[in-house]
Structure formats: structure tokens, C-alpha cells
Structure 1
């Protein structure tokens, strides 16, 4: 069966070579590799051509990644057979050599409509980069614990059946799904989260096998991380608002509820600790709560051991991750407030 890789890229001249090299190293190489040079002002297109990729330049695209993909997929889906496969991969990502082969095997199951990657953070970025790698390590563990069911068909790397993409596009054109008339929604800040819900709503399973590993960019500054997470969180909330409560979205509503509950619990804990210390001062360590804390620390350290010894040490310190969790919860609260006040969230290139 034919396999086509689409790599949307906006000013990725520093990363496109590594991305394409990862595709060329696949044990099941794509038959075609197409770089979507979207509003590029650098040498992304020229470098991609020199590396042997086809280059597609979207015309007057104002709809970011989703718009570029829709323009490229429109003619492509008229050419491909129903059993053809389409890989969509970000230009700041490198796939493990067995990614495509593993994903294609998973698609042998007729119930599976798309296969998402399990992403890990690239090296670098200092303590902030390490915290993100630890977060991604735990996310990979959670996917495995859920039987490799994909919560999100990550934009960093997902393999689709061509027939499923046609089905999504047809459902949008028939008004069964929102977001325009293309495969990807133009109304969503997080097109990968939205298309996951679209594929599942149409009755297909989405999976993320352990072998579908990839390494993606980490944010190296707090402002960049804030903009990235605001887009992810706000997009997820807006997608739930647009889809409403259905059998597909029930899990995602529960996930957001638990996130809110965790945010409230942490805020209450911090407030109680501050008030208690202010009124009563330090009363010494209670054996029971010390034991509970140690169990919690061990769990945090064990679940990030795949990220290396520095991750285990940082997790054992507890406080850095507590601050990181508070940062993520601040994103959640800000997103809820902005959604309630109908403030517009802007898309930032990160």
C-alpha cells in the first residue's frame, strides 16, 4: 500500500534536516515525503528539496497548520486508494526508526482508524526542559497503562488511513462535524485534539503503540511554554464545548474535571500549610505524614526513571515539580477564565 508523509513546516530550516533524516531511516520508508512550506521566510523549502523531499507551498494560507494540511490533502486524497496511509508529522520532530512500520501493523486492525505517536522530549533546555521530559515520560507511562489507547492523535506524528481522512472531510461537509470543509478543523486551536475526537466520533479506534516513539522539541523559556500550554489547554476546552457531552467526550470531560479538582486541592493544601505555619509555627515532622510523603516521592521518582538519573533526582526533590505543576494549573485556571469571558486566544509560533 502507498504511504505518503506530510511535514507541515513554518521557518524550520534549523530542524528540517533531522526530521527528514528520521523519515529516511524508517524501516518502512514513505513512498513520498512532502514538506508543506507554510509562509516560510527562511530556507526551509530549499533545504527540503536538497534533501530529496517534495515541497508544497500553500496558497494565501491564513489558517496555520490546519489550513496548510487541508490544502495539501485536497488533491492528495483524490489520488490515493482507500487502503493508502498518510503520515502527518511536525517539522520539529524525529521519529524512531520503527515508528512507521509499527503504526502500519497497528492499522491492520480494521477497527483502528489512526495511530498516534508516543512523544518524548529532546535533550537540552536546562531544568525547564528536564521538567518537560519528565512530564512526557509520565504521559507515555499513562498511555501504556491504558492499553495503548491514544488520548490525542499527536501532531508530532500520526498515521491515518486515507479512507478515514476522507470520512472526516465528508462529515464536515455534511455538517456532522464542525470546523470547515477540510480534513482538519479551522476553528480549533489544537487541530490534533479535535481530529482525535472527530475520528472517534465516526466510530474508529485510535491507538499509540509503545513502538511508535518520537522525540520532539521542548520549550526553553517560560513565556514560550506558557503560550504553548495556553494553546493546548484552551483548545482542549473549546473542543469539548463544541462537541458537547457524548460517549466519546465523556472521558475528556472527566479528565478536565479531575484536573480542576487537583488544582483546587493543591491550592487548599498550600493555603492550609501557610496559615498553619503562620499561626502555630513549625511543630516538627509527624511520622504518619512523613511516611505518606516518602511514598509519594518514591512514586514520582520511579515513574520518571526512563528519563535518566537527573530526572529521578529532580523528582525526589519534589519542590521543583510542585512548582511546575502549579504553573500548569495556572494555565488551566487562566484558560477557564478566558473561555468564560469569551476572550480570544491567539496562536503563537513556538
Structure 2
């Protein structure tokens, strides 16, 4: 290989590693915006406001969770004569219809049971059945979309409606936290992730003035906003909540996140259930990214979705798996071309990763003390114990080789460096193995241990890669419901 080709290859490798580091830099940038939310938020423009609210609650085989959710709604700190609930039964085959009818009888005029005979079309179709009923009556002034298993804090709705006192606000969302009584390892990881993705990231998005997604189980819309986006939820994507969020902002109305609105939800307890849920979400984001391709990086006076800041944040999350692969491959190939340059670049990445890990983890744990008490170890292990070992080993590689009794030779040092460089890619490959092993009883302890070694972050990256493949293959886009068992704390 000629010197010119080697130089070109070296430049390409450095560029790949630099691109791979972008999501880390953007993640730190987004977290630096979180404290700014204390002074840049919508609260000064909010005011006591109690519009007539219709709650649309989609329910397909939700008999185990429906009654406590409805009871909590009936006891919200909100005027009873200004709150009505539509339970949209999506052709359930369990006791959901019986529960809904019993609750409607217990609270006549406040709860209504709507039955769809053709079910299984997805959440958006179910929601639209209820939204049409709500819009057909002039009574409704605001509409709350929720999931059947979520539990709203007593003051939550009142805190959401206060933002609608500002006519510029089209929709409001709150903080959904994992609320199982005794969460398994997967659910504890989800709990920490929700703090990062909602309590932290959505605070930052409030500051940026552009919201990526209304929480699917807690979104309040003004009637004006619902009518402006067409009077229904989009049914052509698996990310109907994200699509609604974008359409709201493209129409010139703002979307805000209120971190004081607390909602508890039951989350998947197994890797396979999580994979199914997140694959749907990730494929929806692929569809959204394509559908709104004319919005990205095109600033507008009407909305902030086209801002450079929001675009960088969106694509850093969306392309995180690609970035991880680029960084790993770039370092491995660069080591073969110029091992000194590879080590220097890795050292720079090491310091960036360590600073980001410490800052992001500590701030995330500070934002939700309840989750911090329940999932502090999962927070520390979020990138994977393997990644933490890699970070520590990279600090003094010769020392670690000596500690484990391996002679420090050029060959062993090279092998160690290759492992360090390639770990993000290895972790994502192990995440696929996790999915295969999950559910096999005799491997349960291996799966649990491997989850902590691999980390939740690499697992989510693997799911996102799977979503790329499924979309490229044109796989059937079905709305798979996550099974709920009623583990949410009352």
C-alpha cells in the first residue's frame, strides 16, 4: 500500500473516530442545558386554569390494570364536573369490558365505555375512536391521552392544564417514571433511563424550544391543537406520539414538558419484552426521521424543530449505534496503520468518555431521588460493567496485565488495545446474544449477569440497529402491545 493511500486511510479513520465521538459531546451539551431550565422555562406564563378535560384511555386486554388507573383519575385534585373519561375498549378478549362497565356504573356521567368491535389495528386507531367522540361534543376544551396502566399523581392534571392558560401552548407532557413495586433488573435500568430521557433530556429540550416527543402515556392537548392537526392521531407510523409532537410544533404551537407532573407506569421486566417495545419505538423514529426530512437543519421563525441544536441532538441519539461502530472500526484500523496515532486518539476519547460518564450519571441520579434509591447501581452500570472495566484498564494497561499475571509483551499489549478499541461493537454483539438467551430458564443467571456486563446503553443501541435492518427489509410494521400485570404501586 502506497504512502498516499496509507495517509488517506489514516485520515478516514480519524474522521470516523471523530464522528463516533459526536454523540458523547452532544450528550454533555444537552446535560449542560439541564440546569438552565431553572431560569428558562414556561412556568412564568402559566396560570391557574381548569378547562373541561376529556381523558381518552385506550385499552386492549387491560383488565389487570384498568380499575386502579380509573380510580386514581376519579380522585385527582381536579373539579369532578370538569373531567370525563372515555375508555376505548379495543375489542378486548379478557375482562376489560366488564371492568370498564363496572367503573362506568360506579361513576355515572364521568366514565364512559366505548367498544370497538374491530381491534388490533394499533394504539393510534384506538385513540382516534375516542378523539372523534370527544370532538363531536363542544363540551371538551382539552384532551388527555394516557395509557391504561399509568397512575397519575393527584395534582398532575392541574399542573398540566396551567400551561394551557398560554394560548401559544398546544400540548403538555409530564414525567413518566417506572413504578413497579419490586422492579426486576430490566425495569430498574428502564427507571434510570427514563430519568435521563425525560427528566433530563426534556428539560434541555424546553430550553432549546423544541420537543422531540410527548410521553405516550401522559399528553394533554388543547382542543384548538387537536383540531389544527386534523382532529386525529396519525396512523401511518409506529411513533404516533412523536408524529403528533412534530405536527403540533410545525403548526406554530409550542409543546412543553413539566417535570413536576409525575406519572407512574409499569415497564417490561424481560429483555425480550423490552426489545419488542423498543424496536417499535426505534422503527417509529426511523419513519419520523424520513417523513420530516425537509425539516432537519432548516431554521424557521414558526418553530425550533429545524434549529441546528435540535437537529444535532436528534441525530446524535438516532445515529448513536452507527457512531459507536465508526469509533470502534476507526480505532482498530488506525492501530494497524499508525498505532501511535490510534493510542493518542483513544486517550483523548477516554478522557471525554470518563468526564461524560461521571457528569451525566451524577446529574441523572440527582434529578429523581426515588429512582436513585431504587436503581443507583443500574445507573452506574448503565454503559456496562465491561465498559467501565475498559475505561479503568485503558488508564494503565500494563499495570492491569501484570495484575492478572500476563507478561507485558508487545503482543499482549496489542491484543489488549484491540479489545479496548473494539469494545462498543463487541458489547452490541453480546446484546443480541442476550436476546437469544432471555427466557431460557437454565441460562437465567447468565442472562442477568451478562446484562450488567453488556450494559443497558449497548442493548438499546443493538435494538436501534435492529430497527434499521427491519425498516430496510420492509418488515411488517405491527403495533405490539407490551403485556401489563398490574405491578405499579398504588
TM-score range, shorter chain: 0.7 to 0.9
Instruction: Note the C-alpha offset of 1:9.
Output: 0.7
Aligned with 1:12: secondary structure? coil
Structure 1 residues 227 and 41: CA distance shift in structure 2, 3 A: same
Q: Hey, what does 2:358 align to over in structure 1?
A: 298
Q: Which of 205, 218, 224 pairs up with 1:163? A: 224
For the pair shown, the structure with the greater C-alpha radius of gyration is: 2
Instruction: Note the C-alpha offset of 1:241.
Output: 1.6
Q: Within 5 Å, which residues of 2 pair with 1:64-79? A: 64-79=122-137
Q: Within 5 Å, which residues of 2 pair with 1:47-62? A: 47-51=99-103, 52=107, 53-62=111-120
Structure 1 residues 321 and 26: CA distance shift in structure 2, 3 A: farther
Q: Hey, what does 1:20 align to over in structure 2?
A: 70
Q: Hey, what does 2:163 align to over in structure 1?
A: 106
Is the aligned partner of 1:2 residue 2:52? yes
Point out where structure 2 has 5 or more consecutive residues left out of the alignment.
1-50, 386-451, 483-490
**In structure 1, how many angstroms separate the alpha carbons of the residues matched to 2:125 and 2:290?**
22
Instruction: Note the C-alpha offset of 1:345.
Output: 2.7
Q: Which of 465, 469, 472 pairs up with 1:333? A: 465
**Conserved? CA contact 1:112–1:206, under 8 Å:** yes
Q: Hey, what does 1:93 align to over in structure 2?
A: 150
Question: What TM-score comes out, normalization by structure 2 length?
Answer: 0.61
Q: Hey, what does 1:176 align to over in structure 2?
A: none
Is the aligned partner of 1:132 residue 2:264? no
**In structure 1, how many angstroms separate the alpha carbons of the residues matched to 2:352 and 2:142?**
49
**Conserved? CA contact 2:122–2:478, under 8 Å:** no
Is the aligned partner of 1:38 residue 2:90? yes
Instruction: Note the C-alpha offset of 1:163.
Output: 2.1
Structure 1 residues 254 and 39: CA distance shift in structure 2, 3 A: farther
**In structure 1, how many angstroms separate the alpha carbons of the residues matched to 2:333 and 2:266?**
37
**In structure 1, how many angstroms separate the alpha carbons of the residues matched to 2:87 and 2:347?**
59
Q: Hey, what does 1:218 align to over in structure 2?
A: 267
Q: Hey, what does 2:306 align to over in structure 1?
A: 250
Per-residue displacement from partner, 1:25-46 (whole Å, max 9, x unpaired)?
2111552112111111111122
Structure 1 residues 75 and 295: CA distance shift in structure 2, 3 A: closer
**In structure 2, how many angstroms separate the alpha carbons of the residues matched to 1:270 and 1:105?**
48
After TM superposition, the structure 1 stretch with the greater mean CA deviation from structure 2, 200-209 or 54-63, is: 54-63
- What is the RMSD of the two structures over their aligned residues, measured on CA atoms? 2.9
Q: Which of 360, 364, 376 pairs up with 1:312? A: 376
Per-residue displacement from partner, 1:82-130 (whole Å, max 9, x unpaired)?
x711111110111111111011100001100111122111233411111
After TM superposition, the structure 1 stretch with the greater mean CA deviation from structure 2, 29-38 or 291-300, is: 291-300
Aligned with 1:301: secondary structure? helix
Aligned with 1:186: secondary structure? coil
**Conserved? CA contact 1:63–1:186, under 8 Å:** no
Aligned with 1:146: secondary structure? helix
Structure 1 residues 273 and 197: CA distance shift in structure 2, 3 A: same
Aligned with 1:235: secondary structure? helix
**Conserved? CA contact 2:160–2:172, under 8 Å:** yes
Per-residue displacement from partner, 1:221-248 (whole Å, max 9, x unpaired)?
1111111111111112212322332256
Aligned with 1:230: secondary structure? helix
After TM superposition, the structure 1 stretch with the greater mean CA deviation from structure 2, 19-28 or 221-230, is: 19-28
Instruction: Note the C-alpha offset of 1:259.
Output: 2.8
Question: What TM-score comes out, normalization by structure 1 length?
Answer: 0.84
Greater relative contact order: 1 or 2 (C-alpha under 8 angstroms, separation 6 or more)?
A: 2
Instruction: Note the C-alpha offset of 1:134.
Output: 0.4
Structure 1 residues 193 and 274: CA distance shift in structure 2, 3 A: same
Q: Hey, what does 1:266 align to over in structure 2?
A: 324
Point out where structure 1 has 5 or more consecutive residues left out of the alignment.
170-181
Aligned with 2:176: secondary structure? strand
**In structure 2, how many angstroms separate the alpha carbons of the residues matched to 1:293 and 1:188?**
35
Q: Which of 191, 204, 209 pairs up with 1:145? A: 204
Aligned with 2:177: secondary structure? strand
Q: Hey, what does 2:179 align to over in structure 1?
A: 122
Q: Hey, what does 2:47 align to over in structure 1?
A: none
Per-residue displacement from partner, 1:205-224 (whole Å, max 9, x unpaired)?
01111222211121111111
**Conserved? CA contact 1:69–1:184, under 8 Å:** yes
Instruction: Note the C-alpha offset of 1:132.
Output: 0.3
